[in-house]
Amino acid sequence: MPTQTIPQPIGRFAPSPTGELHLGSLTTALASFCHIKSIGGQWLLRIEDTDTERCDRQFTEQILMDLEVLGLHWDGDVIYQSERIDIYNDYLSGALRPLTYACQCSRKDLERYWAHEEEKHHHNEDINPLQPNRVRYPRHCVNASLDRQQHKLRIQLPDYHIGFNDGIQGIQWDNPQQTLGDMVVRRQDGMINYILAASIDDGLQKVTHIMRGLDILPMTTAQISILQAAHLPAIDHWYHLPLICNPDGQKLSKQNLAQPIDTRDPSRLITTALQLLQQPAVDKDTPANMLKQAIAQWDNTPLQGKQQLNSPD
Protein backbone atom coordinates (compact mmCIF):
# COMPACT_ATOMS: atom_id res chain seq x y z
CA MET A 1 0.00 0.00 0.00
CA PRO A 2 1.61 3.33 -1.00
CA THR A 3 2.44 5.69 1.84
CA GLN A 4 0.60 8.99 1.81
CA THR A 5 2.91 12.02 1.70
CA ILE A 6 1.99 14.76 4.13
CA PRO A 7 2.44 18.20 2.57
CA GLN A 8 4.98 20.47 4.22
CA PRO A 9 3.34 23.06 6.47
CA ILE A 10 3.32 26.52 4.91
CA GLY A 11 2.76 29.72 6.85
CA ARG A 12 2.99 33.35 5.82
CA PHE A 13 3.39 36.90 7.01
CA ALA A 14 1.47 39.39 4.90
CA PRO A 15 2.04 43.01 5.96
CA SER A 16 0.43 45.96 4.22
CA PRO A 17 3.04 48.69 3.58
CA THR A 18 0.91 51.62 4.74
CA GLY A 19 3.55 52.31 7.40
CA GLU A 20 6.57 50.75 9.09
CA LEU A 21 6.41 47.69 11.34
CA HIS A 22 5.36 48.47 14.92
CA LEU A 23 5.45 46.21 17.98
CA GLY A 24 2.05 44.69 17.13
CA SER A 25 2.97 43.73 13.56
CA LEU A 26 6.44 42.56 14.67
CA THR A 27 4.84 40.29 17.28
CA THR A 28 2.57 38.78 14.62
CA ALA A 29 5.57 38.21 12.33
CA LEU A 30 7.61 36.61 15.12
CA ALA A 31 4.74 34.38 16.25
CA SER A 32 3.94 33.11 12.76
CA PHE A 33 7.65 32.55 12.03
CA CYS A 34 8.42 30.63 15.24
CA HIS A 35 5.22 28.59 15.07
CA ILE A 36 5.60 27.41 11.47
CA LYS A 37 9.33 26.71 11.91
CA SER A 38 8.60 24.71 15.08
CA ILE A 39 6.62 22.23 12.96
CA GLY A 40 9.16 22.10 10.13
CA GLY A 41 7.35 24.43 7.76
CA GLN A 42 8.11 27.20 5.31
CA TRP A 43 7.49 30.88 6.11
CA LEU A 44 6.42 32.96 3.12
CA LEU A 45 6.41 36.75 2.86
CA ARG A 46 3.67 38.51 0.91
CA ILE A 47 3.39 42.28 0.58
CA GLU A 48 -0.31 43.19 0.49
CA ASP A 49 -0.06 46.43 -1.47
CA THR A 50 -3.27 46.53 -3.52
CA ASP A 51 -4.29 49.78 -1.79
CA THR A 52 -2.38 52.11 -4.09
CA GLU A 53 -3.62 55.19 -2.21
CA ARG A 54 -2.12 54.22 1.16
CA CYS A 55 0.74 51.82 0.35
CA ASP A 56 4.24 53.15 -0.25
CA ARG A 57 7.27 51.39 -1.72
CA GLN A 58 9.42 53.12 0.90
CA PHE A 59 7.52 51.30 3.66
CA THR A 60 7.88 48.00 1.78
CA GLU A 61 11.65 48.39 1.65
CA GLN A 62 11.78 49.28 5.35
CA ILE A 63 9.71 46.22 6.29
CA LEU A 64 12.04 43.93 4.32
CA MET A 65 15.12 45.48 5.95
CA ASP A 66 13.64 45.22 9.45
CA LEU A 67 12.74 41.55 9.00
CA GLU A 68 16.26 40.79 7.76
CA VAL A 69 17.90 42.58 10.70
CA LEU A 70 15.68 40.62 13.12
CA GLY A 71 16.66 37.30 11.54
CA LEU A 72 13.13 36.66 10.23
CA HIS A 73 14.26 35.25 6.90
CA TRP A 74 11.48 34.21 4.55
CA ASP A 75 11.46 31.20 2.21
CA GLY A 76 11.24 31.71 -1.55
CA ASP A 77 10.51 34.96 -3.34
CA VAL A 78 8.53 37.85 -1.91
CA ILE A 79 5.06 38.09 -3.49
CA TYR A 80 3.70 41.56 -4.28
CA GLN A 81 -0.06 41.72 -4.65
CA SER A 82 0.18 44.89 -6.76
CA GLU A 83 1.78 42.71 -9.46
CA ARG A 84 -1.04 40.15 -9.36
CA ILE A 85 -4.13 42.23 -10.18
CA ASP A 86 -4.70 40.29 -13.42
CA ILE A 87 -4.84 37.03 -11.42
CA TYR A 88 -7.55 38.38 -9.11
CA ASN A 89 -9.53 39.71 -12.06
CA ASP A 90 -9.28 36.33 -13.79
CA TYR A 91 -10.94 34.72 -10.77
CA LEU A 92 -13.61 37.43 -10.70
CA SER A 93 -14.46 36.82 -14.34
CA GLY A 94 -14.04 33.04 -14.04
CA ALA A 95 -14.73 30.83 -11.01
CA LEU A 96 -16.20 33.65 -8.89
CA ARG A 97 -18.33 35.23 -11.62
CA PRO A 98 -21.59 33.44 -10.67
CA LEU A 99 -21.35 34.90 -7.15
CA THR A 100 -20.40 38.46 -8.11
CA TYR A 101 -22.40 41.37 -9.46
CA ALA A 102 -21.88 45.04 -10.27
CA CYS A 103 -23.16 47.67 -7.86
CA GLN A 104 -23.66 51.39 -8.35
CA CYS A 105 -24.72 52.33 -4.83
CA SER A 106 -22.55 55.03 -3.31
CA ARG A 107 -21.78 55.37 0.37
CA LYS A 108 -24.13 58.36 0.51
CA ASP A 109 -26.92 56.31 -1.13
CA LEU A 110 -26.54 53.65 1.54
CA GLU A 111 -26.38 56.20 4.37
CA ARG A 112 -29.69 57.66 3.17
CA TYR A 113 -31.21 54.17 2.88
CA TRP A 114 -30.16 53.15 6.41
CA ALA A 115 -31.31 56.47 7.89
CA HIS A 116 -34.73 55.86 6.29
CA GLU A 117 -34.83 52.27 7.60
CA GLU A 118 -33.93 53.37 11.10
CA GLU A 119 -36.62 56.03 10.96
CA LYS A 120 -39.15 53.34 10.00
CA HIS A 121 -37.84 51.12 12.79
CA HIS A 122 -38.28 53.94 15.28
CA HIS A 123 -41.94 54.42 14.30
CA ASN A 124 -42.79 50.72 13.97
CA GLU A 125 -41.00 49.02 16.86
CA ASP A 126 -43.91 46.63 17.44
CA ILE A 127 -43.91 45.58 13.78
CA ASN A 128 -40.15 45.35 13.22
CA PRO A 129 -38.25 44.55 16.42
CA LEU A 130 -34.92 44.03 14.64
CA GLN A 131 -32.58 46.98 14.30
CA PRO A 132 -31.34 47.24 10.68
CA ASN A 133 -27.85 45.76 10.15
CA ARG A 134 -25.87 48.55 8.53
CA VAL A 135 -23.03 46.17 7.60
CA ARG A 136 -25.18 44.10 5.25
CA TYR A 137 -25.68 45.57 1.82
CA PRO A 138 -29.45 45.68 1.04
CA ARG A 139 -28.84 44.07 -2.39
CA HIS A 140 -30.36 46.85 -4.46
CA CYS A 141 -28.21 45.94 -7.46
CA VAL A 142 -28.18 42.14 -7.25
CA ASN A 143 -30.46 41.76 -10.30
CA ALA A 144 -29.63 45.02 -12.05
CA SER A 145 -27.19 43.50 -14.60
CA LEU A 146 -24.95 46.58 -14.54
CA ASP A 147 -21.68 46.82 -16.48
CA ARG A 148 -19.08 44.94 -14.44
CA GLN A 149 -16.22 47.10 -15.70
CA GLN A 150 -17.88 50.43 -14.90
CA HIS A 151 -18.95 49.72 -11.33
CA LYS A 152 -17.72 48.12 -8.14
CA LEU A 153 -18.17 44.34 -7.78
CA ARG A 154 -19.78 42.62 -4.80
CA ILE A 155 -19.64 38.94 -3.89
CA GLN A 156 -22.62 37.06 -2.44
CA LEU A 157 -21.41 35.24 0.66
CA PRO A 158 -23.29 32.12 1.80
CA ASP A 159 -26.21 32.48 4.18
CA TYR A 160 -25.42 29.59 6.52
CA HIS A 161 -23.14 29.02 9.48
CA ILE A 162 -19.54 27.99 8.85
CA GLY A 163 -17.46 26.52 11.65
CA PHE A 164 -13.73 26.12 12.12
CA ASN A 165 -11.37 25.36 14.98
CA ASP A 166 -9.07 28.23 15.84
CA GLY A 167 -5.90 26.96 17.51
CA ILE A 168 -5.85 29.97 19.85
CA GLN A 169 -9.45 31.22 20.09
CA GLY A 170 -11.21 27.83 20.01
CA ILE A 171 -14.26 26.70 18.00
CA GLN A 172 -15.76 29.50 15.88
CA TRP A 173 -19.14 29.67 14.14
CA ASP A 174 -20.34 32.48 11.93
CA ASN A 175 -22.78 33.17 9.10
CA PRO A 176 -20.85 35.37 6.64
CA GLN A 177 -23.97 36.67 4.89
CA GLN A 178 -25.54 37.80 8.15
CA THR A 179 -22.30 39.29 9.47
CA LEU A 180 -20.69 40.73 6.34
CA GLY A 181 -23.37 40.67 3.65
CA ASP A 182 -22.41 41.04 -0.02
CA MET A 183 -18.90 42.41 0.34
CA VAL A 184 -17.20 44.70 -2.16
CA VAL A 185 -14.35 42.71 -3.74
CA ARG A 186 -13.31 45.24 -6.40
CA ARG A 187 -13.80 48.97 -6.17
CA GLN A 188 -15.02 51.10 -9.05
CA ASP A 189 -11.44 52.26 -9.67
CA GLY A 190 -10.32 48.63 -10.01
CA MET A 191 -8.70 48.33 -6.59
CA ILE A 192 -8.98 44.76 -5.26
CA ASN A 193 -10.39 44.26 -1.75
CA TYR A 194 -8.07 42.82 0.92
CA ILE A 195 -9.95 39.61 1.67
CA LEU A 196 -10.33 38.61 -1.99
CA ALA A 197 -6.63 39.05 -2.77
CA ALA A 198 -5.56 37.36 0.48
CA SER A 199 -7.87 34.39 -0.11
CA ILE A 200 -6.72 33.79 -3.67
CA ASP A 201 -3.05 34.14 -2.77
CA ASP A 202 -3.31 31.87 0.27
CA GLY A 203 -4.90 29.24 -1.98
CA LEU A 204 -2.41 29.62 -4.81
CA GLN A 205 0.55 29.58 -2.40
CA LYS A 206 -0.87 26.43 -0.77
CA VAL A 207 -0.76 28.01 2.68
CA THR A 208 -1.74 25.47 5.34
CA HIS A 209 -1.35 27.47 8.57
CA ILE A 210 -2.50 31.06 9.04
CA MET A 211 -1.46 32.91 12.18
CA ARG A 212 -2.58 36.54 12.24
CA GLY A 213 -4.21 39.14 14.47
CA LEU A 214 -7.59 38.70 16.13
CA ASP A 215 -8.93 41.74 14.24
CA ILE A 216 -9.05 39.60 11.06
CA LEU A 217 -11.09 36.82 12.70
CA PRO A 218 -14.49 38.23 11.52
CA MET A 219 -13.29 37.86 7.90
CA THR A 220 -12.33 34.21 8.23
CA THR A 221 -15.65 32.64 7.17
CA ALA A 222 -15.66 34.95 4.14
CA GLN A 223 -12.17 33.70 3.27
CA ILE A 224 -13.24 30.07 3.70
CA SER A 225 -16.20 30.75 1.37
CA ILE A 226 -14.06 32.47 -1.29
CA LEU A 227 -11.47 29.68 -1.28
CA GLN A 228 -14.20 27.09 -1.73
CA ALA A 229 -15.95 29.03 -4.51
CA ALA A 230 -12.63 29.60 -6.30
CA HIS A 231 -11.82 25.85 -6.11
CA LEU A 232 -8.62 26.57 -4.18
CA PRO A 233 -7.16 24.48 -1.33
CA ALA A 234 -8.66 25.05 2.10
CA ILE A 235 -6.58 26.34 5.01
CA ASP A 236 -5.92 23.47 7.42
CA HIS A 237 -5.14 25.46 10.57
CA TRP A 238 -6.22 28.90 11.77
CA TYR A 239 -4.69 30.86 14.65
CA HIS A 240 -5.84 34.36 15.61
CA LEU A 241 -3.43 36.02 18.00
CA PRO A 242 -4.57 38.27 20.84
CA LEU A 243 -4.25 41.94 19.94
CA ILE A 244 -1.31 43.87 21.34
CA CYS A 245 -2.75 46.92 23.10
CA ASN A 246 -1.24 50.08 24.52
CA PRO A 247 -1.73 51.07 28.19
CA ASP A 248 -5.01 52.80 27.21
CA GLY A 249 -6.38 49.51 25.88
CA GLN A 250 -6.17 50.55 22.20
CA LYS A 251 -4.91 48.08 19.63
CA LEU A 252 -1.39 48.95 18.49
CA SER A 253 -1.89 50.06 14.89
CA LYS A 254 -0.84 52.68 12.39
CA GLN A 255 -4.24 54.35 12.87
CA ASN A 256 -3.48 54.71 16.60
CA LEU A 257 -0.03 56.12 15.77
CA ALA A 258 1.92 53.12 17.09
CA GLN A 259 5.63 53.88 17.06
CA PRO A 260 7.74 52.14 14.39
CA ILE A 261 10.15 49.55 15.77
CA ASP A 262 13.79 50.55 16.24
CA THR A 263 16.01 47.72 14.97
CA ARG A 264 19.25 49.14 16.36
CA ASP A 265 18.91 46.60 19.19
CA PRO A 266 17.22 43.61 17.52
CA SER A 267 17.92 41.28 20.45
CA ARG A 268 15.93 43.54 22.80
CA LEU A 269 13.03 43.67 20.33
CA ILE A 270 12.94 39.88 20.07
CA THR A 271 13.00 39.58 23.88
CA THR A 272 10.11 42.06 24.21
CA ALA A 273 7.99 40.33 21.55
CA LEU A 274 8.55 36.89 23.10
CA GLN A 275 7.60 38.24 26.53
CA LEU A 276 4.41 39.70 25.06
CA LEU A 277 3.63 36.33 23.48
CA GLN A 278 4.16 34.73 26.94
CA GLN A 279 6.86 32.43 25.61
CA PRO A 280 9.71 30.98 27.71
CA ALA A 281 12.68 33.32 28.02
CA VAL A 282 15.58 32.93 25.59
CA ASP A 283 19.23 33.76 26.16
CA LYS A 284 20.27 37.18 24.88
CA ASP A 285 22.37 36.43 21.83
CA THR A 286 22.38 37.11 18.10
CA PRO A 287 18.89 37.25 16.53
CA ALA A 288 19.57 33.95 14.73
CA ASN A 289 20.44 32.11 17.96
CA MET A 290 17.58 33.68 19.89
CA LEU A 291 15.09 32.68 17.21
CA LYS A 292 16.52 29.15 17.11
CA GLN A 293 15.86 28.82 20.84
CA ALA A 294 12.42 30.45 20.54
CA ILE A 295 11.44 28.00 17.77
CA ALA A 296 12.58 25.01 19.84
CA GLN A 297 10.38 26.01 22.79
CA TRP A 298 7.45 27.60 20.93
CA ASP A 299 4.10 26.95 22.63
CA ASN A 300 0.66 28.33 21.71
CA THR A 301 -0.85 27.26 25.04
CA PRO A 302 -0.25 30.49 27.02
CA LEU A 303 -2.13 32.44 24.34
CA GLN A 304 -5.21 30.25 24.19
CA GLY A 305 -8.47 32.04 24.90
CA LYS A 306 -6.81 35.43 25.28
CA GLN A 307 -8.02 38.38 23.21
CA GLN A 308 -5.63 41.08 24.39
CA LEU A 309 -2.00 41.37 25.43
CA ASN A 310 -0.71 44.58 26.99
CA SER A 311 2.43 46.17 25.60
CA PRO A 312 4.96 47.84 27.88
CA ASP A 313 4.60 51.61 28.31
- Write the CATH number for 110: 3.90.800.10
Single-letter residue type at 222: A
- Are residues 244 and 125 part of one domain? no
Q: How far apart are CA 226 and CA 231, in angstroms?
A: 8
- Are residues 208 and 64 part of one domain? yes
Residues 222-260 pLDDT 10s: 999 999 999 999 999 999 999 988 776 666 665 555 789
Residues 93-140 pLDDT 10s: 999 999 999 999 999 989 898 888 887 766 665 544 455 566 689 999
In a domain, 4, yes or no: no
pLDDT at site 127: 47
pLDDT at site 15: 96
- Are residues 167 and 261 part of one domain? no
Q: How does strand 100-103 pair with strand 152-155?
A: antiparallel
pLDDT at site 133: 67
In a domain, 213, yes or no: yes
- Are residues 299 and 200 part of one domain? yes
pLDDT at site 254: 58
Looking at 160, 186, 212, the residue that finishes a domain is: 186
Number of CB atoms found within 10 A of residue 306's CB: 14
Looking at per-residue confidence, does 159 or 310 come out higher?
Answer: 159
Single-letter residue type at 9: P
Phi-psi region of 249 (alpha: psi -120 to 50; beta: other; left: phi over 0): left
- Are residues 199 and 82 part of one domain? yes
- Are residues 176 and 163 part of one domain? yes
- Are residues 200 and 85 part of one domain? yes
Best CA proximity match to 220, nearest among 240, 197, 190, 248: 240
Domain containing 181: what range? 91-186
Sheet of 10-13: strand order equals 10-13, 42-47, 79-80
Looking at 186, 204, 230, the residue that finishes a domain is: 186
- Are residues 176 and 295 part of one domain? no
In this predicted structure, the answer to whether residue 13 has a pLDDT above a threshold of 70 is: yes
Looking at 186, 208, 229, the residue that finishes a domain is: 186
pLDDT at site 129: 47
Torsion of the alpha carbons at 172, 178, 179 and 180, rounded to the nearest 10 = 120
Number of domains the chain contains:
2
